[in-house]
Structure 1
Amino acid sequence: MDVCFNQILGILKKYWADKDGTAGYDVARKVISLITTEKLQEFKSDTTYKTIFATGPSKIATARILNNLAGVNKFADYIEENISEDGRSNLAQDLKKLTGVPMDRGTVGRVCYNLLVDSLKAGNHLKNNKNKKSPLKKSEEKKIDVRSGIHQYISYVRDKEEIEVDGVSFKVSAHLMNDELEVVRTLPYCHALFEAYSAKGKQKITAENIEDSEYKSYFEREKEWFNEAAWYERSLRDTVVDFDNQYDLLKQDVYEGIEPVYHDEDFGTDGMKRLKKVHQQVVVLQLDRSNLKNIDNILGNDTKEGLCHVLVNDGKIKSWVKVDYDEVI
Protein backbone atom coordinates (compact mmCIF):
# COMPACT_ATOMS: atom_id res chain seq x y z
CA MET A 1 0.00 0.00 0.00
CA ASP A 2 2.00 2.98 -1.29
CA VAL A 3 -0.59 5.61 -0.41
CA CYS A 4 0.36 9.21 0.30
CA PHE A 5 -1.01 11.28 3.17
CA ASN A 6 -2.40 13.91 0.82
CA GLN A 7 -4.15 11.28 -1.31
CA ILE A 8 -6.19 10.30 1.74
CA LEU A 9 -6.93 13.97 2.44
CA GLY A 10 -8.19 14.33 -1.13
CA ILE A 11 -10.70 11.53 -0.63
CA LEU A 12 -11.80 12.87 2.77
CA LYS A 13 -12.50 16.28 1.23
CA LYS A 14 -15.24 14.78 -0.94
CA TYR A 15 -17.29 13.96 2.16
CA TRP A 16 -16.22 16.79 4.46
CA ALA A 17 -18.94 19.03 5.92
CA ASP A 18 -17.21 21.01 8.65
CA LYS A 19 -18.35 24.34 10.10
CA ASP A 20 -14.72 25.51 10.01
CA GLY A 21 -14.54 25.13 6.25
CA THR A 22 -14.42 22.52 3.51
CA ALA A 23 -11.60 23.78 1.31
CA GLY A 24 -8.57 21.56 0.91
CA TYR A 25 -6.48 23.46 3.44
CA ASP A 26 -9.41 23.44 5.89
CA VAL A 27 -9.55 19.65 5.65
CA ALA A 28 -5.79 19.38 6.19
CA ARG A 29 -5.96 21.67 9.23
CA LYS A 30 -8.86 19.80 10.82
CA VAL A 31 -7.45 16.33 10.15
CA ILE A 32 -4.12 17.22 11.76
CA SER A 33 -5.92 18.73 14.76
CA LEU A 34 -7.92 15.51 15.15
CA ILE A 35 -4.99 13.10 14.97
CA THR A 36 -2.67 15.10 17.26
CA THR A 37 -2.85 15.95 20.94
CA GLU A 38 -2.02 19.63 20.71
CA LYS A 39 -2.04 22.56 18.33
CA LEU A 40 1.29 22.43 16.57
CA GLN A 41 2.64 25.96 16.59
CA GLU A 42 4.54 25.64 13.34
CA PHE A 43 1.28 24.89 11.51
CA LYS A 44 -0.36 28.31 11.54
CA SER A 45 -0.86 29.77 8.10
CA ASP A 46 -3.32 28.79 5.40
CA THR A 47 -0.34 28.49 3.08
CA THR A 48 1.13 25.72 5.23
CA TYR A 49 -2.08 23.73 5.11
CA LYS A 50 -2.50 24.35 1.38
CA THR A 51 0.94 22.82 0.92
CA ILE A 52 0.08 19.87 3.15
CA PHE A 53 -3.12 19.23 1.20
CA ALA A 54 -1.35 19.50 -2.14
CA THR A 55 1.90 17.66 -1.47
CA GLY A 56 1.83 16.39 2.12
CA PRO A 57 3.69 17.57 5.26
CA SER A 58 7.44 18.05 5.22
CA LYS A 59 9.71 15.59 7.00
CA ILE A 60 10.00 17.92 9.99
CA ALA A 61 6.24 18.43 10.14
CA THR A 62 5.72 14.68 9.81
CA ALA A 63 7.98 14.05 12.80
CA ARG A 64 6.06 16.61 14.87
CA ILE A 65 2.75 14.98 14.00
CA LEU A 66 3.98 11.48 14.84
CA ASN A 67 5.41 12.68 18.15
CA ASN A 68 2.04 14.13 19.16
CA LEU A 69 -0.46 11.48 18.07
CA ALA A 70 -3.75 11.58 19.97
CA GLY A 71 -4.92 8.04 19.35
CA VAL A 72 -7.71 6.85 17.14
CA ASN A 73 -10.82 7.78 19.13
CA LYS A 74 -10.93 11.54 18.53
CA PHE A 75 -10.63 11.15 14.76
CA ALA A 76 -12.98 8.14 14.53
CA ASP A 77 -15.63 9.86 16.67
CA TYR A 78 -15.48 12.95 14.46
CA ILE A 79 -16.04 10.87 11.31
CA GLU A 80 -18.93 9.05 13.00
CA GLU A 81 -20.62 12.25 14.14
CA ASN A 82 -20.03 14.52 11.14
CA ILE A 83 -20.41 12.31 8.07
CA SER A 84 -23.72 10.65 7.27
CA GLU A 85 -24.13 6.89 7.06
CA ASP A 86 -24.28 7.03 3.27
CA GLY A 87 -21.28 9.33 3.24
CA ARG A 88 -19.28 6.95 5.44
CA SER A 89 -20.25 4.03 3.19
CA ASN A 90 -19.03 5.90 0.12
CA LEU A 91 -15.90 7.07 1.92
CA ALA A 92 -15.15 3.46 2.88
CA GLN A 93 -15.58 2.34 -0.73
CA ASP A 94 -13.27 5.07 -2.04
CA LEU A 95 -10.58 4.38 0.56
CA LYS A 96 -10.81 0.64 -0.03
CA LYS A 97 -10.41 1.21 -3.77
CA LEU A 98 -7.34 3.36 -3.12
CA THR A 99 -5.66 1.15 -0.51
CA GLY A 100 -7.16 -2.33 -0.81
CA VAL A 101 -7.87 -2.31 2.93
CA PRO A 102 -11.28 -3.78 3.90
CA MET A 103 -13.59 -1.41 5.79
CA ASP A 104 -17.21 -0.38 6.04
CA ARG A 105 -19.14 2.62 7.32
CA GLY A 106 -18.78 1.37 10.89
CA THR A 107 -15.00 1.00 10.78
CA VAL A 108 -13.98 3.63 8.24
CA GLY A 109 -13.03 6.22 10.88
CA ARG A 110 -10.62 3.93 12.69
CA VAL A 111 -9.17 2.47 9.49
CA CYS A 112 -8.72 5.92 7.97
CA TYR A 113 -6.82 7.09 11.06
CA ASN A 114 -4.49 4.09 10.80
CA LEU A 115 -3.95 4.73 7.09
CA LEU A 116 -3.05 8.37 7.74
CA VAL A 117 -0.60 7.49 10.50
CA ASP A 118 0.91 4.55 8.63
CA SER A 119 1.46 6.69 5.53
CA LEU A 120 3.50 9.09 7.65
CA LYS A 121 5.44 6.32 9.39
CA ALA A 122 6.25 4.67 6.07
CA GLY A 123 7.56 7.93 4.64
CA ASN A 124 4.70 8.23 2.13
CA HIS A 125 3.95 11.76 3.28
CA LEU A 126 4.94 13.52 0.05
CA LYS A 127 3.10 13.36 -3.25
CA ASN A 128 4.91 11.23 -5.82
CA ASN A 129 7.25 10.02 -3.09
CA LYS A 130 10.02 8.03 -4.71
CA ASN A 131 10.91 6.15 -1.54
CA LYS A 132 8.71 3.16 -2.20
CA LYS A 133 8.62 0.36 0.33
CA SER A 134 11.67 -1.76 -0.16
CA PRO A 135 11.21 -5.46 -0.89
CA LEU A 136 11.68 -7.75 2.07
CA LYS A 137 15.14 -9.09 2.68
CA LYS A 138 15.60 -12.79 2.06
CA SER A 139 15.79 -13.43 5.80
CA GLU A 140 12.35 -11.82 6.17
CA GLU A 141 10.50 -13.51 3.33
CA LYS A 142 8.85 -15.98 5.69
CA LYS A 143 7.95 -13.35 8.25
CA ILE A 144 4.70 -11.43 8.61
CA ASP A 145 4.56 -7.81 7.47
CA VAL A 146 2.11 -6.30 9.96
CA ARG A 147 1.85 -2.81 8.47
CA SER A 148 -1.71 -1.61 7.88
CA GLY A 149 -3.04 -2.42 4.44
CA ILE A 150 -0.63 -5.24 3.64
CA HIS A 151 -3.05 -8.02 4.59
CA GLN A 152 -6.82 -8.36 4.88
CA TYR A 153 -6.54 -9.91 8.32
CA ILE A 154 -3.92 -11.07 10.82
CA SER A 155 -5.18 -13.02 13.81
CA TYR A 156 -3.67 -15.16 16.57
CA VAL A 157 -5.39 -18.52 17.18
CA ARG A 158 -4.49 -19.57 20.71
CA ASP A 159 -5.61 -23.20 20.65
CA LYS A 160 -3.44 -23.80 17.58
CA GLU A 161 -0.54 -21.56 18.68
CA GLU A 162 -0.66 -20.02 15.21
CA ILE A 163 -1.06 -16.64 13.57
CA GLU A 164 -3.33 -16.75 10.54
CA VAL A 165 -2.62 -14.25 7.77
CA ASP A 166 -5.08 -14.17 4.89
CA GLY A 167 -5.61 -17.92 5.26
CA VAL A 168 -1.92 -18.79 5.72
CA SER A 169 -0.79 -20.09 9.13
CA PHE A 170 2.45 -19.15 10.92
CA LYS A 171 3.42 -21.33 13.88
CA VAL A 172 4.48 -19.48 17.03
CA SER A 173 6.06 -20.60 20.30
CA ALA A 174 4.03 -22.40 22.91
CA HIS A 175 3.07 -20.46 26.02
CA LEU A 176 5.58 -20.41 28.86
CA MET A 177 4.94 -22.44 31.98
CA ASN A 178 4.98 -20.84 35.42
CA ASP A 179 7.40 -23.32 36.99
CA GLU A 180 10.50 -21.56 35.68
CA LEU A 181 14.01 -22.02 37.06
CA GLU A 182 15.12 -20.27 40.23
CA VAL A 183 17.49 -18.06 38.23
CA VAL A 184 14.45 -16.20 36.88
CA ARG A 185 13.88 -14.81 40.37
CA THR A 186 17.05 -12.78 40.01
CA LEU A 187 15.46 -10.64 37.29
CA PRO A 188 14.98 -6.96 38.22
CA TYR A 189 11.19 -7.18 38.09
CA CYS A 190 11.26 -9.85 40.82
CA HIS A 191 13.45 -7.72 43.08
CA ALA A 192 11.05 -4.81 42.56
CA LEU A 193 8.16 -7.03 43.62
CA PHE A 194 10.04 -8.33 46.68
CA GLU A 195 10.74 -4.73 47.67
CA ALA A 196 7.04 -3.85 47.39
CA TYR A 197 6.03 -6.89 49.46
CA SER A 198 8.65 -6.08 52.10
CA ALA A 199 7.48 -2.48 52.39
CA LYS A 200 3.90 -3.63 52.86
CA GLY A 201 4.47 -6.52 55.25
CA LYS A 202 6.34 -7.28 58.45
CA GLN A 203 9.29 -9.18 57.01
CA LYS A 204 11.87 -8.74 54.29
CA ILE A 205 10.79 -10.78 51.29
CA THR A 206 13.47 -12.40 49.14
CA ALA A 207 13.75 -15.06 46.47
CA GLU A 208 14.56 -17.52 49.23
CA ASN A 209 11.45 -17.00 51.36
CA ILE A 210 8.77 -15.85 48.92
CA GLU A 211 7.30 -19.36 48.69
CA ASP A 212 6.66 -19.43 52.43
CA SER A 213 5.34 -15.89 52.68
CA GLU A 214 1.84 -14.44 52.58
CA TYR A 215 2.71 -12.93 49.20
CA LYS A 216 3.27 -16.21 47.37
CA SER A 217 -0.05 -16.02 45.50
CA TYR A 218 0.58 -12.39 44.52
CA PHE A 219 4.00 -13.31 43.18
CA GLU A 220 2.64 -16.30 41.24
CA ARG A 221 0.10 -14.07 39.53
CA GLU A 222 2.70 -11.45 38.62
CA LYS A 223 4.96 -14.19 37.21
CA GLU A 224 2.11 -15.42 35.03
CA TRP A 225 1.66 -11.95 33.61
CA PHE A 226 5.38 -11.52 33.03
CA ASN A 227 5.51 -14.90 31.31
CA GLU A 228 2.71 -13.81 28.98
CA ALA A 229 4.74 -10.75 27.98
CA ALA A 230 7.88 -12.87 27.58
CA TRP A 231 5.94 -15.32 25.41
CA TYR A 232 4.58 -12.44 23.32
CA GLU A 233 8.10 -11.17 22.63
CA ARG A 234 9.58 -14.61 21.97
CA SER A 235 6.76 -15.65 19.64
CA LEU A 236 6.72 -12.53 17.50
CA ARG A 237 10.44 -11.79 17.37
CA ASP A 238 11.08 -14.54 14.81
CA THR A 239 7.69 -14.17 13.14
CA VAL A 240 7.17 -10.47 12.45
CA VAL A 241 9.11 -8.15 10.15
CA ASP A 242 10.76 -5.19 11.94
CA PHE A 243 9.79 -6.64 15.31
CA ASP A 244 12.43 -4.90 17.43
CA ASN A 245 11.41 -1.42 16.33
CA GLN A 246 7.70 -2.16 16.64
CA TYR A 247 8.18 -3.75 20.08
CA ASP A 248 10.08 -0.68 21.26
CA LEU A 249 7.18 1.50 20.09
CA LEU A 250 4.76 -0.73 21.99
CA LYS A 251 6.77 -0.49 25.21
CA GLN A 252 7.08 3.27 24.79
CA ASP A 253 3.30 3.45 24.37
CA VAL A 254 2.83 1.42 27.56
CA TYR A 255 5.21 3.56 29.58
CA GLU A 256 3.71 6.86 28.46
CA GLY A 257 0.24 5.52 29.24
CA ILE A 258 1.04 4.41 32.79
CA GLU A 259 3.56 7.11 33.72
CA PRO A 260 1.04 9.56 35.27
CA VAL A 261 -0.30 6.81 37.53
CA TYR A 262 3.17 5.53 38.39
CA HIS A 263 4.29 8.99 39.51
CA ASP A 264 1.16 9.68 41.58
CA GLU A 265 2.52 10.98 44.89
CA ASP A 266 -0.57 9.82 46.80
CA PHE A 267 0.79 6.26 46.80
CA GLY A 268 3.82 7.27 48.86
CA THR A 269 5.89 4.13 49.46
CA ASP A 270 2.96 1.74 49.02
CA GLY A 271 4.42 -0.16 46.08
CA MET A 272 1.67 -2.77 45.99
CA LYS A 273 -1.03 -0.14 45.66
CA ARG A 274 0.97 1.71 43.00
CA LEU A 275 1.46 -1.50 41.02
CA LYS A 276 -2.23 -2.39 41.32
CA LYS A 277 -3.29 1.00 39.95
CA VAL A 278 -0.71 0.79 37.16
CA HIS A 279 -2.12 -2.59 36.16
CA GLN A 280 -5.63 -1.14 36.17
CA GLN A 281 -4.44 1.66 33.90
CA VAL A 282 -2.49 -0.43 31.41
CA VAL A 283 -5.41 -2.72 30.54
CA VAL A 284 -7.50 0.21 29.29
CA LEU A 285 -4.77 1.65 27.06
CA GLN A 286 -5.32 1.34 23.30
CA LEU A 287 -1.62 0.98 22.45
CA ASP A 288 -1.97 1.81 18.77
CA ARG A 289 1.44 3.38 18.12
CA SER A 290 3.06 0.11 17.01
CA ASN A 291 2.08 -1.88 13.93
CA LEU A 292 1.81 -4.90 16.23
CA LYS A 293 -1.70 -3.59 16.91
CA ASN A 294 -2.72 -5.15 13.60
CA ILE A 295 -2.42 -8.69 15.01
CA ASP A 296 -5.84 -9.49 16.45
CA ASN A 297 -6.43 -11.55 19.61
CA ILE A 298 -2.83 -11.62 20.85
CA LEU A 299 -2.24 -8.57 23.06
CA GLY A 300 -4.50 -9.40 26.00
CA ASN A 301 -4.73 -7.83 29.43
CA ASP A 302 -2.32 -10.36 30.98
CA THR A 303 0.30 -9.44 28.39
CA LYS A 304 -0.24 -5.73 28.96
CA GLU A 305 0.22 -6.22 32.70
CA GLY A 306 3.33 -8.28 32.05
CA LEU A 307 4.78 -5.49 29.93
CA CYS A 308 4.88 -3.35 33.08
CA HIS A 309 7.38 -5.86 34.49
CA VAL A 310 9.32 -5.80 31.22
CA LEU A 311 9.72 -2.05 31.73
CA VAL A 312 11.31 -2.82 35.10
CA ASN A 313 13.74 -5.26 33.50
CA ASP A 314 14.53 -2.59 30.90
CA GLY A 315 15.26 -0.02 33.61
CA LYS A 316 12.44 2.33 32.60
CA ILE A 317 10.84 1.68 35.99
CA LYS A 318 13.30 1.16 38.82
CA SER A 319 11.05 0.60 41.83
CA TRP A 320 7.40 0.44 42.81
CA VAL A 321 8.29 1.78 46.27
CA LYS A 322 11.01 4.40 45.84
CA VAL A 323 9.81 6.77 43.15
CA ASP A 324 11.69 9.87 42.08
CA TYR A 325 8.83 12.26 41.40
CA ASP A 326 11.15 14.74 39.68
CA GLU A 327 12.60 12.09 37.39
CA VAL A 328 11.94 12.34 33.68
CA ILE A 329 12.57 9.04 31.93
Structure 2
Amino acid sequence: MSKRAWALLAAWSVALIYGVTFTIAKDVMPKHIDAFGFIFLRVGGSMLLFWLATLFVKTERIEKADFPRIMAASFFGVAFNMLTFFKGLSYTSPIMGAVLMVTTPMIVLVLSAIIMKERMENRKVVGILLGLAGTVTLILYGKAKINAPNATLGNFLVFVNAVSYGIYLIIVKKLMDKYNAFSFVKWIYFFGFLMVIPFGWREFQLVDWTMVPSSAYLKIGFVVIFSTFLTYLLNLLSMRELKPTTVAVFIYLQPFFASIFAIGLGKDELSWVKIGSAVLIFIGVYLVTQKRETIKEKIPNSK
Protein backbone atom coordinates (compact mmCIF):
# COMPACT_ATOMS: atom_id res chain seq x y z
CA MET A 1 0.00 0.00 0.00
CA SER A 2 1.14 3.54 -0.73
CA LYS A 3 1.69 6.14 2.01
CA ARG A 4 -1.47 7.93 0.90
CA ALA A 5 -3.48 4.70 1.15
CA TRP A 6 -2.21 4.15 4.70
CA ALA A 7 -3.11 7.76 5.55
CA LEU A 8 -6.66 7.28 4.24
CA LEU A 9 -6.99 4.00 6.18
CA ALA A 10 -5.89 5.85 9.33
CA ALA A 11 -8.50 8.56 8.74
CA TRP A 12 -11.23 5.92 8.23
CA SER A 13 -10.18 4.23 11.49
CA VAL A 14 -10.40 7.52 13.40
CA ALA A 15 -13.93 8.11 12.07
CA LEU A 16 -14.96 4.59 13.13
CA ILE A 17 -13.57 4.97 16.66
CA TYR A 18 -15.07 8.43 17.15
CA GLY A 19 -18.42 7.23 15.83
CA VAL A 20 -18.56 4.64 18.61
CA THR A 21 -17.24 7.13 21.19
CA PHE A 22 -20.38 9.32 21.05
CA THR A 23 -22.45 6.55 22.63
CA ILE A 24 -19.77 5.20 24.98
CA ALA A 25 -18.87 8.61 26.45
CA LYS A 26 -22.53 9.50 26.94
CA ASP A 27 -22.99 6.25 28.91
CA VAL A 28 -20.28 7.32 31.38
CA MET A 29 -21.05 11.01 31.93
CA PRO A 30 -22.60 12.66 33.73
CA LYS A 31 -24.00 9.50 35.39
CA HIS A 32 -20.66 8.30 36.82
CA ILE A 33 -18.35 11.27 36.33
CA ASP A 34 -18.92 14.87 35.26
CA ALA A 35 -17.56 16.15 31.95
CA PHE A 36 -14.51 18.07 33.21
CA GLY A 37 -13.54 15.24 35.55
CA PHE A 38 -13.73 12.86 32.60
CA ILE A 39 -11.47 15.19 30.59
CA PHE A 40 -8.95 15.29 33.45
CA LEU A 41 -8.86 11.49 33.40
CA ARG A 42 -8.80 11.28 29.60
CA VAL A 43 -5.99 13.80 29.01
CA GLY A 44 -3.93 12.67 32.02
CA GLY A 45 -4.15 9.00 31.03
CA SER A 46 -3.29 9.73 27.41
CA MET A 47 -0.36 11.93 28.44
CA LEU A 48 1.13 9.04 30.41
CA LEU A 49 0.66 6.69 27.44
CA PHE A 50 2.39 9.12 25.04
CA TRP A 51 5.36 9.64 27.35
CA LEU A 52 5.67 5.88 27.96
CA ALA A 53 5.55 5.28 24.21
CA THR A 54 8.56 7.59 23.70
CA LEU A 55 10.66 5.11 25.71
CA PHE A 56 10.34 2.71 22.79
CA VAL A 57 10.24 5.17 19.87
CA LYS A 58 13.09 7.39 18.74
CA THR A 59 12.18 11.07 19.07
CA GLU A 60 13.75 14.36 18.01
CA ARG A 61 14.65 17.42 20.04
CA ILE A 62 12.03 20.16 19.69
CA GLU A 63 13.37 23.59 18.83
CA LYS A 64 12.47 26.32 21.34
CA ALA A 65 10.92 28.41 18.57
CA ASP A 66 8.30 25.66 17.99
CA PHE A 67 7.01 25.48 21.57
CA PRO A 68 4.57 28.41 21.14
CA ARG A 69 2.97 26.48 18.25
CA ILE A 70 2.89 23.31 20.38
CA MET A 71 1.19 25.20 23.22
CA ALA A 72 -1.35 26.62 20.77
CA ALA A 73 -2.01 23.08 19.49
CA SER A 74 -2.42 21.97 23.14
CA PHE A 75 -5.02 24.65 23.73
CA PHE A 76 -7.07 24.23 20.56
CA GLY A 77 -6.55 20.47 20.04
CA VAL A 78 -6.67 19.16 23.62
CA ALA A 79 -7.77 21.52 26.40
CA PHE A 80 -10.33 23.89 24.86
CA ASN A 81 -11.37 21.30 22.27
CA MET A 82 -12.14 18.52 24.76
CA LEU A 83 -13.54 20.71 27.55
CA THR A 84 -16.11 22.34 25.26
CA PHE A 85 -17.02 19.09 23.51
CA PHE A 86 -17.57 16.92 26.58
CA LYS A 87 -19.33 19.67 28.55
CA GLY A 88 -21.49 20.35 25.50
CA LEU A 89 -22.24 16.64 25.06
CA SER A 90 -23.30 16.41 28.72
CA TYR A 91 -25.88 19.18 28.10
CA THR A 92 -27.17 18.18 24.66
CA SER A 93 -28.00 14.89 22.93
CA PRO A 94 -25.39 12.86 21.02
CA ILE A 95 -27.46 13.37 17.85
CA MET A 96 -27.38 17.17 17.97
CA GLY A 97 -23.77 17.10 19.08
CA ALA A 98 -22.90 15.08 15.99
CA VAL A 99 -24.86 17.49 13.76
CA LEU A 100 -22.74 20.41 14.91
CA MET A 101 -19.47 18.47 14.69
CA VAL A 102 -19.91 18.05 10.94
CA THR A 103 -19.44 21.80 10.48
CA THR A 104 -15.69 21.22 11.10
CA PRO A 105 -14.78 20.48 7.42
CA MET A 106 -16.44 23.70 6.29
CA ILE A 107 -14.56 25.62 9.00
CA VAL A 108 -11.25 24.00 8.03
CA LEU A 109 -11.87 24.72 4.35
CA VAL A 110 -12.41 28.42 5.06
CA LEU A 111 -9.51 28.67 7.54
CA SER A 112 -7.17 26.84 5.14
CA ALA A 113 -8.08 29.30 2.39
CA ILE A 114 -7.43 32.26 4.70
CA ILE A 115 -4.39 31.06 6.68
CA MET A 116 -2.68 28.56 4.38
CA LYS A 117 -3.80 30.18 1.11
CA GLU A 118 -5.16 26.80 0.01
CA ARG A 119 -7.18 27.08 -3.16
CA MET A 120 -10.86 26.11 -2.84
CA GLU A 121 -11.28 23.54 -5.60
CA ASN A 122 -14.85 23.15 -6.86
CA ARG A 123 -14.62 19.39 -6.43
CA LYS A 124 -13.81 19.75 -2.72
CA VAL A 125 -16.56 22.26 -2.13
CA VAL A 126 -19.10 19.94 -3.80
CA GLY A 127 -17.78 16.95 -1.83
CA ILE A 128 -18.04 18.78 1.49
CA LEU A 129 -21.58 19.99 0.73
CA LEU A 130 -22.71 16.48 -0.30
CA GLY A 131 -21.18 14.99 2.84
CA LEU A 132 -22.79 17.67 4.97
CA ALA A 133 -26.21 17.06 3.39
CA GLY A 134 -25.95 13.30 3.90
CA THR A 135 -24.77 13.58 7.49
CA VAL A 136 -27.37 16.12 8.60
CA THR A 137 -30.12 14.00 7.02
CA LEU A 138 -28.78 10.85 8.67
CA ILE A 139 -28.72 12.43 12.12
CA LEU A 140 -31.98 14.38 11.95
CA TYR A 141 -33.90 11.25 10.91
CA GLY A 142 -32.31 9.20 13.71
CA LYS A 143 -33.33 8.99 17.32
CA ALA A 144 -35.32 11.82 18.87
CA LYS A 145 -33.52 14.29 21.11
CA ILE A 146 -33.28 12.77 24.59
CA ASN A 147 -31.21 13.38 27.70
CA ALA A 148 -30.56 17.03 26.82
CA PRO A 149 -30.89 19.16 29.99
CA ASN A 150 -29.64 22.37 28.31
CA ALA A 151 -29.58 21.81 24.54
CA THR A 152 -28.95 25.46 23.62
CA LEU A 153 -25.79 25.79 25.72
CA GLY A 154 -24.69 22.28 24.79
CA ASN A 155 -25.07 22.91 21.06
CA PHE A 156 -23.14 26.18 21.35
CA LEU A 157 -20.26 24.48 23.19
CA VAL A 158 -20.08 21.67 20.62
CA PHE A 159 -19.98 24.22 17.79
CA VAL A 160 -17.15 26.09 19.58
CA ASN A 161 -15.38 22.73 19.84
CA ALA A 162 -15.71 22.24 16.07
CA VAL A 163 -14.09 25.63 15.43
CA SER A 164 -11.32 24.84 17.93
CA TYR A 165 -10.57 21.49 16.29
CA GLY A 166 -10.49 23.11 12.86
CA ILE A 167 -7.85 25.58 14.07
CA TYR A 168 -5.85 22.71 15.63
CA LEU A 169 -5.72 20.76 12.35
CA ILE A 170 -4.13 23.76 10.64
CA ILE A 171 -1.70 24.57 13.49
CA VAL A 172 -0.39 21.02 13.82
CA LYS A 173 0.22 20.55 10.09
CA LYS A 174 3.54 22.45 10.17
CA LEU A 175 4.74 20.37 13.14
CA MET A 176 3.94 17.18 11.20
CA ASP A 177 6.04 18.39 8.27
CA LYS A 178 9.03 18.97 10.57
CA TYR A 179 9.01 16.29 13.31
CA ASN A 180 8.16 12.70 14.07
CA ALA A 181 4.68 12.62 15.63
CA PHE A 182 5.89 11.19 18.97
CA SER A 183 8.42 14.01 19.28
CA PHE A 184 5.79 16.70 19.79
CA VAL A 185 2.51 14.96 20.65
CA LYS A 186 3.82 14.12 24.13
CA TRP A 187 4.40 17.85 24.67
CA ILE A 188 0.97 18.70 23.27
CA TYR A 189 -0.61 16.46 25.89
CA PHE A 190 1.74 17.61 28.65
CA PHE A 191 0.73 21.25 28.20
CA GLY A 192 -2.87 20.22 27.52
CA PHE A 193 -3.01 18.36 30.84
CA LEU A 194 -1.69 21.40 32.71
CA MET A 195 -4.45 23.46 31.08
CA VAL A 196 -7.29 21.09 32.11
CA ILE A 197 -6.17 20.57 35.74
CA PRO A 198 -7.89 23.76 37.03
CA PHE A 199 -11.18 22.65 35.43
CA GLY A 200 -11.17 18.90 36.00
CA TRP A 201 -9.42 18.24 39.31
CA ARG A 202 -12.41 19.06 41.54
CA GLU A 203 -14.88 16.96 39.52
CA PHE A 204 -12.37 14.10 39.42
CA GLN A 205 -12.03 14.17 43.22
CA LEU A 206 -15.81 14.04 43.70
CA VAL A 207 -16.12 10.62 42.02
CA ASP A 208 -16.79 7.71 44.38
CA TRP A 209 -14.85 5.08 42.45
CA THR A 210 -16.19 2.25 44.64
CA MET A 211 -19.65 2.95 43.20
CA VAL A 212 -18.51 2.95 39.56
CA PRO A 213 -19.40 -0.36 37.82
CA SER A 214 -16.79 -2.36 35.94
CA SER A 215 -18.56 -1.65 32.64
CA ALA A 216 -17.95 2.08 33.17
CA TYR A 217 -14.26 1.40 33.83
CA LEU A 218 -14.04 -0.44 30.51
CA LYS A 219 -15.75 2.46 28.69
CA ILE A 220 -13.41 4.99 30.30
CA GLY A 221 -10.46 2.83 29.27
CA PHE A 222 -11.79 2.72 25.71
CA VAL A 223 -12.02 6.52 25.57
CA VAL A 224 -8.49 6.98 26.96
CA ILE A 225 -6.71 4.29 24.93
CA PHE A 226 -8.63 4.19 21.66
CA SER A 227 -10.60 7.45 21.40
CA THR A 228 -7.65 9.60 22.51
CA PHE A 229 -4.22 7.95 22.40
CA LEU A 230 -4.75 5.88 19.25
CA THR A 231 -6.93 8.36 17.33
CA TYR A 232 -4.50 11.25 17.83
CA LEU A 233 -1.65 9.13 16.50
CA LEU A 234 -3.74 7.98 13.53
CA ASN A 235 -4.85 11.56 12.83
CA LEU A 236 -1.24 12.74 12.82
CA LEU A 237 -0.28 9.85 10.54
CA SER A 238 -3.03 10.79 8.09
CA MET A 239 -2.06 14.48 8.19
CA ARG A 240 1.49 13.67 7.11
CA GLU A 241 0.12 12.74 3.68
CA LEU A 242 -3.25 14.52 3.52
CA LYS A 243 -4.35 18.15 3.66
CA PRO A 244 -6.27 19.39 6.74
CA THR A 245 -9.45 19.73 4.66
CA THR A 246 -9.19 16.07 3.59
CA VAL A 247 -8.67 14.85 7.16
CA ALA A 248 -11.54 16.99 8.42
CA VAL A 249 -14.07 15.62 5.91
CA PHE A 250 -13.83 12.18 7.55
CA ILE A 251 -15.84 13.67 10.43
CA TYR A 252 -18.84 13.06 8.14
CA LEU A 253 -18.36 9.33 8.62
CA GLN A 254 -18.62 9.48 12.42
CA PRO A 255 -22.45 9.71 12.61
CA PHE A 256 -22.68 6.98 9.95
CA PHE A 257 -20.54 4.61 12.04
CA ALA A 258 -22.44 5.68 15.17
CA SER A 259 -25.71 4.63 13.49
CA ILE A 260 -24.23 1.27 12.41
CA PHE A 261 -23.08 0.73 16.01
CA ALA A 262 -26.58 1.55 17.32
CA ILE A 263 -28.23 -0.76 14.77
CA GLY A 264 -25.87 -3.56 15.78
CA LEU A 265 -26.93 -3.12 19.42
CA GLY A 266 -30.60 -3.14 18.45
CA LYS A 267 -31.05 0.51 19.46
CA ASP A 268 -31.85 1.70 15.94
CA GLU A 269 -33.09 0.30 12.64
CA LEU A 270 -32.06 0.61 9.01
CA SER A 271 -34.16 2.73 6.62
CA TRP A 272 -33.99 4.03 3.06
CA VAL A 273 -33.28 7.51 4.41
CA LYS A 274 -30.18 6.21 6.18
CA ILE A 275 -29.05 4.27 3.12
CA GLY A 276 -29.44 7.35 0.91
CA SER A 277 -27.61 9.50 3.46
CA ALA A 278 -24.75 7.01 3.59
CA VAL A 279 -24.42 7.15 -0.21
CA LEU A 280 -24.15 10.97 -0.11
CA ILE A 281 -21.54 10.76 2.64
CA PHE A 282 -19.37 8.28 0.77
CA ILE A 283 -19.58 10.29 -2.46
CA GLY A 284 -18.61 13.43 -0.55
CA VAL A 285 -15.62 11.75 1.10
CA TYR A 286 -14.56 10.28 -2.26
CA LEU A 287 -14.60 13.68 -4.00
CA VAL A 288 -12.59 15.39 -1.27
CA THR A 289 -10.00 12.62 -0.89
CA GLN A 290 -9.22 12.25 -4.59
CA LYS A 291 -5.94 13.88 -5.61
CA ARG A 292 -6.16 16.44 -8.40
CA GLU A 293 -4.44 15.18 -11.52
CA THR A 294 -1.44 17.20 -12.57
CA ILE A 295 -1.09 18.60 -16.08
CA LYS A 296 1.72 16.13 -16.78
CA GLU A 297 -0.52 13.21 -15.85
CA LYS A 298 -3.28 14.41 -18.16
CA ILE A 299 -1.02 14.95 -21.20
CA PRO A 300 0.06 11.65 -22.80
CA ASN A 301 3.76 11.08 -23.42
CA SER A 302 4.59 12.43 -26.89
CA LYS A 303 7.57 10.16 -27.39
With the shorter chain as reference, the TM-score category is: under 0.3
TM-score, scaled to structure 1: 0.26
Which protein is bigger by CA-based radius of gyration? 1
TM-score, scaled to structure 2: 0.27
Q: Tell me: higher relative CO, structure 1 or 2? Use CA pairs within 8 A at least 6 residues apart.
A: 2
**Which of the two has greater helix per residue?**
2
